[in-house]
Amino acid sequence: MNIPLVDLKTQYQTLTAELIEAVQQVMVNANFILGQQVDDFEVDFALFCKGRQAVGLASGTDALHLGLRACGIGPGDEVITAANSFIATASAISFTGATPVFADVDPETYTIDPASIRELITDRTRAILPVHLYGQPADMDPIMEIAGEKELKVVEDACQAHGAQYKGKPVGSIGHLGAFSFYPGKNLGAFGDGGAAVTNDPQLADRLKMLRNYGQRQKYQHEFLGFNSRLDTLQAAILRVKLKHLAEWNSKRRAAASLYDQYLDGSKFRSPVIAPYSTHVFHLYVIRSQKRDELLNFLNQRGIGAGTHYPRAIPFQKAYQSLGYRPGQLPVAERACAEVLSLPLFPEITEEQIQTVCSTIQEF
Ligand SMILES: *Cc1c(COP(=O)(O)O)cnc(C)c1O
Protein backbone atom coordinates (compact mmCIF):
# COMPACT_ATOMS: atom_id res chain seq x y z
CA MET A 1 0.00 0.00 0.00
CA ASN A 2 1.43 3.36 -1.06
CA ILE A 3 0.70 6.18 1.38
CA PRO A 4 1.60 9.64 0.13
CA LEU A 5 2.85 12.45 2.39
CA VAL A 6 -0.04 14.58 1.09
CA ASP A 7 -3.02 13.51 -1.02
CA LEU A 8 -4.50 16.37 -3.03
CA LYS A 9 -6.82 14.26 -5.19
CA THR A 10 -9.49 13.20 -2.71
CA GLN A 11 -10.55 16.75 -1.85
CA TYR A 12 -11.25 17.50 -5.49
CA GLN A 13 -13.30 14.33 -5.84
CA THR A 14 -15.57 15.32 -2.96
CA LEU A 15 -16.12 18.91 -4.18
CA THR A 16 -16.00 18.48 -7.97
CA ALA A 17 -19.38 19.93 -8.95
CA GLU A 18 -19.07 22.99 -6.71
CA LEU A 19 -15.51 23.72 -7.83
CA ILE A 20 -16.33 23.42 -11.53
CA GLU A 21 -19.31 25.73 -11.08
CA ALA A 22 -17.13 28.32 -9.29
CA VAL A 23 -14.40 28.20 -11.94
CA GLN A 24 -16.94 28.35 -14.76
CA GLN A 25 -18.46 31.51 -13.34
CA VAL A 26 -15.09 33.25 -13.48
CA MET A 27 -14.57 32.13 -17.07
CA VAL A 28 -18.05 33.21 -18.16
CA ASN A 29 -17.58 36.65 -16.63
CA ALA A 30 -13.93 36.80 -17.75
CA ASN A 31 -13.03 38.96 -14.75
CA PHE A 32 -9.68 37.26 -14.29
CA ILE A 33 -7.81 40.04 -12.49
CA LEU A 34 -9.14 41.33 -9.14
CA GLY A 35 -12.65 40.14 -9.95
CA GLN A 36 -15.55 40.01 -7.50
CA GLN A 37 -14.47 36.60 -6.16
CA VAL A 38 -11.23 38.13 -4.87
CA ASP A 39 -13.18 40.71 -2.84
CA ASP A 40 -15.57 38.03 -1.62
CA PHE A 41 -12.77 35.69 -0.61
CA GLU A 42 -10.99 38.51 1.23
CA VAL A 43 -14.14 39.16 3.27
CA ASP A 44 -14.60 35.45 4.05
CA PHE A 45 -10.96 34.87 4.90
CA ALA A 46 -10.68 37.93 7.16
CA LEU A 47 -13.75 36.67 9.02
CA PHE A 48 -12.23 33.20 9.35
CA CYS A 49 -9.05 34.71 10.84
CA LYS A 50 -11.02 37.18 12.98
CA GLY A 51 -8.99 39.94 11.35
CA ARG A 52 -10.38 43.22 10.08
CA GLN A 53 -9.14 42.88 6.52
CA ALA A 54 -7.49 40.37 4.21
CA VAL A 55 -5.63 41.19 1.01
CA GLY A 56 -5.29 38.48 -1.66
CA LEU A 57 -1.79 38.15 -3.07
CA ALA A 58 0.11 35.96 -5.51
CA SER A 59 1.81 33.75 -2.89
CA GLY A 60 2.71 33.34 0.76
CA THR A 61 6.20 34.59 -0.01
CA ASP A 62 4.70 37.79 -1.40
CA ALA A 63 2.41 38.11 1.63
CA LEU A 64 5.54 38.12 3.82
CA HIS A 65 7.61 40.32 1.52
CA LEU A 66 4.92 42.91 0.75
CA GLY A 67 3.65 42.70 4.33
CA LEU A 68 7.09 43.66 5.63
CA ARG A 69 7.29 46.47 3.06
CA ALA A 70 3.86 47.73 4.09
CA CYS A 71 5.20 47.85 7.66
CA GLY A 72 8.01 50.09 6.43
CA ILE A 73 10.81 47.51 6.65
CA GLY A 74 13.69 48.19 4.26
CA PRO A 75 17.44 48.48 3.75
CA GLY A 76 19.50 48.77 6.94
CA ASP A 77 16.79 47.19 9.08
CA GLU A 78 17.05 43.88 10.91
CA VAL A 79 14.19 41.42 11.29
CA ILE A 80 14.44 38.62 13.85
CA THR A 81 13.04 35.29 12.71
CA ALA A 82 13.25 31.54 13.40
CA ALA A 83 16.24 29.60 12.04
CA ASN A 84 14.21 26.51 11.11
CA SER A 85 11.61 27.35 8.52
CA PHE A 86 11.07 27.24 4.80
CA ILE A 87 13.54 29.53 3.01
CA ALA A 88 10.75 31.97 2.02
CA THR A 89 10.45 33.18 5.63
CA ALA A 90 13.94 34.64 5.38
CA SER A 91 14.10 35.48 1.68
CA ALA A 92 11.02 37.69 2.11
CA ILE A 93 13.02 39.72 4.65
CA SER A 94 16.01 39.93 2.29
CA PHE A 95 13.79 41.06 -0.63
CA THR A 96 12.94 44.23 1.31
CA GLY A 97 16.64 45.02 1.64
CA ALA A 98 16.59 44.22 5.37
CA THR A 99 18.75 41.55 7.03
CA PRO A 100 17.28 38.42 8.62
CA VAL A 101 18.65 37.72 12.10
CA PHE A 102 18.13 34.12 13.13
CA ALA A 103 16.89 33.16 16.58
CA ASP A 104 16.94 29.69 18.07
CA VAL A 105 13.73 27.81 18.78
CA ASP A 106 11.95 26.02 21.59
CA PRO A 107 13.02 22.35 21.73
CA GLU A 108 9.43 21.12 22.20
CA THR A 109 7.42 23.24 19.77
CA TYR A 110 10.15 24.26 17.27
CA THR A 111 8.78 27.81 17.30
CA ILE A 112 10.89 30.91 17.99
CA ASP A 113 12.24 31.14 21.53
CA PRO A 114 11.26 34.53 23.03
CA ALA A 115 14.40 34.56 25.26
CA SER A 116 16.54 34.14 22.17
CA ILE A 117 14.75 37.11 20.51
CA ARG A 118 15.70 39.40 23.38
CA GLU A 119 19.40 38.63 23.03
CA LEU A 120 19.37 39.54 19.35
CA ILE A 121 17.77 42.97 19.55
CA THR A 122 19.99 45.82 18.34
CA ASP A 123 19.26 49.45 17.52
CA ARG A 124 18.56 48.30 13.94
CA THR A 125 15.88 45.76 14.85
CA ARG A 126 12.53 46.80 13.36
CA ALA A 127 10.42 43.67 13.36
CA ILE A 128 9.94 40.13 14.64
CA LEU A 129 8.75 37.44 12.24
CA PRO A 130 7.59 34.37 14.20
CA VAL A 131 6.68 31.23 12.26
CA HIS A 132 3.70 29.09 13.30
CA LEU A 133 5.61 26.00 12.24
CA TYR A 134 3.85 22.75 11.27
CA GLY A 135 0.51 24.35 12.23
CA GLN A 136 1.38 25.20 15.83
CA PRO A 137 1.31 28.86 16.95
CA ALA A 138 4.48 30.48 18.23
CA ASP A 139 4.27 31.73 21.84
CA MET A 140 2.77 35.10 20.90
CA ASP A 141 2.27 36.79 24.30
CA PRO A 142 5.97 37.20 25.15
CA ILE A 143 6.68 38.10 21.51
CA MET A 144 4.05 40.88 21.55
CA GLU A 145 5.41 42.04 24.90
CA ILE A 146 8.97 42.40 23.55
CA ALA A 147 7.62 44.11 20.43
CA GLY A 148 5.60 46.55 22.52
CA GLU A 149 8.60 47.41 24.70
CA LYS A 150 10.95 47.96 21.76
CA GLU A 151 8.37 49.38 19.33
CA LEU A 152 8.83 46.59 16.80
CA LYS A 153 6.40 45.33 14.18
CA VAL A 154 5.26 41.72 14.36
CA VAL A 155 4.60 39.91 11.09
CA GLU A 156 3.33 36.37 11.60
CA ASP A 157 4.32 33.66 9.15
CA ALA A 158 1.05 31.75 9.26
CA CYS A 159 1.70 29.98 5.95
CA GLN A 160 1.34 26.57 7.65
CA ALA A 161 -1.28 27.49 10.21
CA HIS A 162 -4.63 28.58 8.70
CA GLY A 163 -7.13 28.28 11.55
CA ALA A 164 -4.63 27.57 14.34
CA GLN A 165 -5.37 29.42 17.58
CA TYR A 166 -3.21 30.93 20.27
CA LYS A 167 -5.14 31.09 23.56
CA GLY A 168 -8.35 31.00 21.52
CA LYS A 169 -7.26 33.72 19.09
CA PRO A 170 -6.79 32.73 15.43
CA VAL A 171 -3.21 33.24 14.21
CA GLY A 172 -2.57 35.91 11.61
CA SER A 173 -4.49 38.63 13.40
CA ILE A 174 -2.47 38.71 16.63
CA GLY A 175 0.55 40.66 15.34
CA HIS A 176 0.43 43.70 13.06
CA LEU A 177 0.05 41.48 10.03
CA GLY A 178 -0.23 37.77 9.22
CA ALA A 179 0.94 36.07 6.03
CA PHE A 180 -0.80 33.00 4.58
CA SER A 181 0.08 30.72 1.68
CA PHE A 182 -2.42 28.85 -0.47
CA TYR A 183 0.20 26.63 -2.09
CA PRO A 184 -1.71 23.43 -2.98
CA GLY A 185 -0.33 21.34 -0.11
CA LYS A 186 -1.15 23.85 2.64
CA ASN A 187 -4.14 23.37 4.97
CA LEU A 188 -6.07 25.67 2.63
CA GLY A 189 -4.66 25.11 -0.84
CA ALA A 190 -5.46 26.66 -4.22
CA PHE A 191 -5.03 24.99 -7.61
CA GLY A 192 -1.74 26.78 -8.07
CA ASP A 193 -0.02 29.56 -6.15
CA GLY A 194 -1.82 32.07 -3.98
CA GLY A 195 -1.49 33.94 -0.71
CA ALA A 196 -3.06 36.54 1.55
CA ALA A 197 -2.12 38.99 4.26
CA VAL A 198 -4.46 39.62 7.18
CA THR A 199 -4.37 42.75 9.32
CA ASN A 200 -6.44 44.83 11.73
CA ASP A 201 -4.79 48.01 10.48
CA PRO A 202 -6.69 49.59 7.55
CA GLN A 203 -3.64 51.62 6.56
CA LEU A 204 -1.53 48.48 6.19
CA ALA A 205 -4.28 46.84 4.12
CA ASP A 206 -4.53 49.92 1.92
CA ARG A 207 -0.78 49.96 1.33
CA LEU A 208 -0.77 46.24 0.53
CA LYS A 209 -3.51 46.71 -2.06
CA MET A 210 -1.31 49.28 -3.75
CA LEU A 211 1.87 47.20 -3.40
CA ARG A 212 0.20 44.26 -5.17
CA ASN A 213 -0.99 46.42 -8.02
CA TYR A 214 1.89 48.62 -9.26
CA GLY A 215 1.58 51.20 -6.51
CA GLN A 216 -1.68 52.49 -7.91
CA ARG A 217 -4.94 53.34 -6.20
CA GLN A 218 -6.42 54.68 -9.41
CA LYS A 219 -5.53 53.20 -12.78
CA TYR A 220 -2.29 54.67 -14.17
CA GLN A 221 -1.69 56.85 -11.10
CA HIS A 222 1.42 55.25 -9.59
CA GLU A 223 2.16 56.77 -6.20
CA PHE A 224 5.18 54.53 -5.61
CA LEU A 225 6.76 51.52 -7.33
CA GLY A 226 4.65 48.48 -6.59
CA PHE A 227 4.60 44.90 -7.81
CA ASN A 228 2.34 42.62 -9.77
CA SER A 229 1.19 40.29 -7.00
CA ARG A 230 -2.54 39.76 -7.15
CA LEU A 231 -4.44 36.66 -6.13
CA ASP A 232 -6.01 35.30 -9.36
CA THR A 233 -9.80 35.50 -9.50
CA LEU A 234 -9.85 31.80 -10.48
CA GLN A 235 -7.88 30.86 -7.38
CA ALA A 236 -10.08 33.07 -5.18
CA ALA A 237 -13.20 31.32 -6.52
CA ILE A 238 -11.67 27.92 -5.72
CA LEU A 239 -10.50 29.05 -2.29
CA ARG A 240 -13.98 30.35 -1.39
CA VAL A 241 -15.43 26.90 -2.01
CA LYS A 242 -12.67 25.19 -0.03
CA LEU A 243 -12.63 27.67 2.88
CA LYS A 244 -16.09 26.45 3.97
CA HIS A 245 -14.52 23.07 4.73
CA LEU A 246 -11.31 24.24 6.35
CA ALA A 247 -12.46 24.03 9.98
CA GLU A 248 -13.66 20.47 9.42
CA TRP A 249 -10.45 19.52 7.58
CA ASN A 250 -8.40 20.95 10.45
CA SER A 251 -10.35 18.84 12.98
CA LYS A 252 -9.70 15.78 10.85
CA ARG A 253 -6.00 16.60 10.85
CA ARG A 254 -6.10 16.87 14.64
CA ALA A 255 -7.92 13.56 14.93
CA ALA A 256 -5.37 11.89 12.65
CA ALA A 257 -2.54 13.35 14.76
CA SER A 258 -4.06 11.93 17.92
CA LEU A 259 -4.35 8.50 16.27
CA TYR A 260 -0.66 8.72 15.40
CA ASP A 261 0.06 9.63 19.05
CA GLN A 262 -1.88 6.55 20.13
CA TYR A 263 -0.21 4.12 17.74
CA LEU A 264 3.27 5.50 18.46
CA ASP A 265 2.77 5.54 22.22
CA GLY A 266 5.49 3.51 23.90
CA SER A 267 7.71 3.53 20.79
CA LYS A 268 11.11 5.18 20.87
CA PHE A 269 9.96 7.99 18.62
CA ARG A 270 9.03 11.32 20.10
CA SER A 271 5.56 12.54 19.09
CA PRO A 272 4.82 16.23 18.58
CA VAL A 273 4.20 18.34 21.69
CA ILE A 274 1.06 20.46 21.72
CA ALA A 275 1.71 23.58 23.79
CA PRO A 276 -1.00 24.33 26.40
CA TYR A 277 -1.71 27.67 24.70
CA SER A 278 -2.30 26.26 21.26
CA THR A 279 -4.90 24.78 18.99
CA HIS A 280 -2.58 22.98 16.59
CA VAL A 281 -3.82 22.42 13.03
CA PHE A 282 -1.19 19.83 12.08
CA HIS A 283 -0.06 21.02 8.70
CA LEU A 284 2.60 18.40 9.38
CA TYR A 285 2.91 15.58 11.90
CA VAL A 286 6.57 15.60 12.87
CA ILE A 287 8.35 12.96 14.96
CA ARG A 288 12.01 12.82 15.92
CA SER A 289 14.65 10.17 15.49
CA GLN A 290 18.41 10.17 15.91
CA LYS A 291 18.49 7.84 12.90
CA ARG A 292 16.28 10.11 10.86
CA ASP A 293 17.89 9.60 7.44
CA GLU A 294 17.86 5.81 7.77
CA LEU A 295 14.25 5.86 8.95
CA LEU A 296 13.28 8.17 6.08
CA ASN A 297 14.83 5.77 3.54
CA PHE A 298 13.28 2.77 5.25
CA LEU A 299 9.80 4.31 5.00
CA ASN A 300 10.21 5.64 1.47
CA GLN A 301 11.38 2.21 0.25
CA ARG A 302 8.17 0.76 1.65
CA GLY A 303 5.95 3.22 -0.19
CA ILE A 304 5.41 5.60 2.70
CA GLY A 305 5.81 9.25 1.75
CA ALA A 306 7.69 10.56 4.76
CA GLY A 307 9.55 13.86 4.41
CA THR A 308 11.91 16.25 6.18
CA HIS A 309 10.85 19.78 7.12
CA TYR A 310 13.54 21.04 7.03
CA PRO A 311 16.86 19.25 6.60
CA ARG A 312 19.01 22.38 6.96
CA ALA A 313 18.48 25.52 9.04
CA ILE A 314 18.11 28.64 6.88
CA PRO A 315 21.33 30.42 7.98
CA PHE A 316 23.29 27.35 6.83
CA GLN A 317 21.84 27.39 3.33
CA LYS A 318 24.37 28.37 0.68
CA ALA A 319 22.19 31.36 -0.19
CA TYR A 320 22.88 32.78 3.29
CA GLN A 321 26.55 31.80 3.50
CA SER A 322 27.56 35.46 3.44
CA LEU A 323 25.86 36.08 6.80
CA GLY A 324 28.61 33.97 8.40
CA TYR A 325 26.65 31.81 10.85
CA ARG A 326 28.76 29.09 12.46
CA PRO A 327 27.65 25.53 13.25
CA GLY A 328 26.66 25.30 16.90
CA GLN A 329 25.34 28.87 17.02
CA LEU A 330 21.69 27.74 16.86
CA PRO A 331 21.93 24.40 18.66
CA VAL A 332 18.23 23.60 19.12
CA ALA A 333 17.29 24.38 15.52
CA GLU A 334 20.33 22.57 14.15
CA ARG A 335 19.58 19.43 16.13
CA ALA A 336 15.93 19.52 15.08
CA CYS A 337 16.98 19.75 11.42
CA ALA A 338 19.00 16.55 11.86
CA GLU A 339 16.21 14.62 13.59
CA VAL A 340 12.76 15.71 12.39
CA LEU A 341 10.67 13.47 10.18
CA SER A 342 7.20 14.29 8.80
CA LEU A 343 4.71 11.45 8.45
CA PRO A 344 1.85 11.28 5.92
CA LEU A 345 -0.96 13.57 7.03
CA PHE A 346 -3.98 14.97 5.23
CA PRO A 347 -7.62 15.30 6.31
CA GLU A 348 -8.75 12.16 4.46
CA ILE A 349 -6.03 9.83 5.78
CA THR A 350 -7.63 6.66 7.16
CA GLU A 351 -6.98 4.93 10.47
CA GLU A 352 -5.77 1.92 8.49
CA GLN A 353 -3.19 4.05 6.68
CA ILE A 354 -2.01 5.52 9.99
CA GLN A 355 -1.74 2.00 11.44
CA THR A 356 0.33 0.87 8.47
CA VAL A 357 2.69 3.84 8.82
CA CYS A 358 3.11 3.19 12.55
CA SER A 359 3.63 -0.56 12.25
CA THR A 360 6.25 0.04 9.55
CA ILE A 361 7.99 2.51 11.88
CA GLN A 362 7.96 -0.09 14.65
CA GLU A 363 9.66 -2.58 12.29
CA PHE A 364 12.57 -0.19 11.82
C1 LIG B 1 4.77 27.66 2.19
C2 LIG B 1 5.49 28.57 3.09
C3 LIG B 1 5.88 29.86 2.70
C4 LIG B 1 5.78 30.37 1.29
O5 LIG B 1 4.54 30.29 0.71
P6 LIG B 1 4.39 30.26 -0.89
O7 LIG B 1 2.93 30.43 -1.10
O8 LIG B 1 4.90 28.94 -1.35
O9 LIG B 1 5.17 31.40 -1.44
C10 LIG B 1 6.46 30.68 3.66
N11 LIG B 1 6.65 30.26 4.91
C12 LIG B 1 6.32 29.02 5.32
C13 LIG B 1 6.56 28.62 6.73
C14 LIG B 1 5.74 28.13 4.42
O15 LIG B 1 5.44 26.89 4.81
Q: What's the pLDDT tens digit per position in 199-255?
A: 999 999 999 999 999 999 999 999 999 999 999 999 999 999 999 999 999 999 999
In this prediction, residue 46 carries a pLDDT of 98
* Any ligand 1 atom below 6 A from CB of 157: yes
Cα(181) to ligand 1 centroid in Å equals 6
175 Cα–ligand 1 center, Å: 18
Low-confidence stretches of the chain (pLDDT beneath 50): none
Residues facing 33 on adjacent strands: 232
| 89, 93, 180, 181, best to mutate for ligand 1 pocket (most atoms within 8 Å of CB) | 181
C-beta 89 within 6 A of ligand 1: yes
pLDDT of residue 313: 98
What is the pLDDT, as a whole number, of residue 267? 87
Going by CA atoms, what residue is nearest to atom 6 of ligand 1? Answer: 60
Q: What is the pLDDT of residue 268?
A: 87
114 within ligand 1 shell (Cβ under 6 A):
no
Nearest residue to 275 via CA among 117, 106, 89:
106
Angle at 24 (CA atoms; ends 23, 25), nearest 5 degrees = 90
Would you say the CB of residue 61 lies under 6 angstroms from ligand 1?
Answer: yes
Cis peptide before 310 (omega within 30 of 0): yes
Three-class SS state of 48:
helix
Any bridge partners for residue 99, and if so which?
78
Atom of ligand 1 lying closest to residue 59 CA: 7
- Say yes or no: CB of residue 53 within 6 Å of ligand 1: no
User: How far is residue 205 from each of residues 56, 69, 106, 180, 195, measured CA to CA in Å?
Assistant: 10, 12, 32, 14, 14
- Per-residue pLDDT tens for 253-290? 999 999 999 999 988 888 899 999 999 999 999 999 99
Atom of ligand 1 nearest to the CA of 183: 7
How far, in Å, is the centroid of ligand 1 from the Cα of 183? 7
Q: Is the CB of 111 under 6 A from ligand 1?
A: no
pLDDT at 227: 98
Measure 134 CA to ligand 1 centroid, in angstroms: 11
Instruction: Tell me what pLDDT residue 266 has.
Output: 87
Pairing of strands 125-129, 153-157: parallel
Cα angle for residues 294, 298, 299 (degrees, 5° grid)? 120
Q: Is the CB of 181 under 6 A from ligand 1?
A: yes
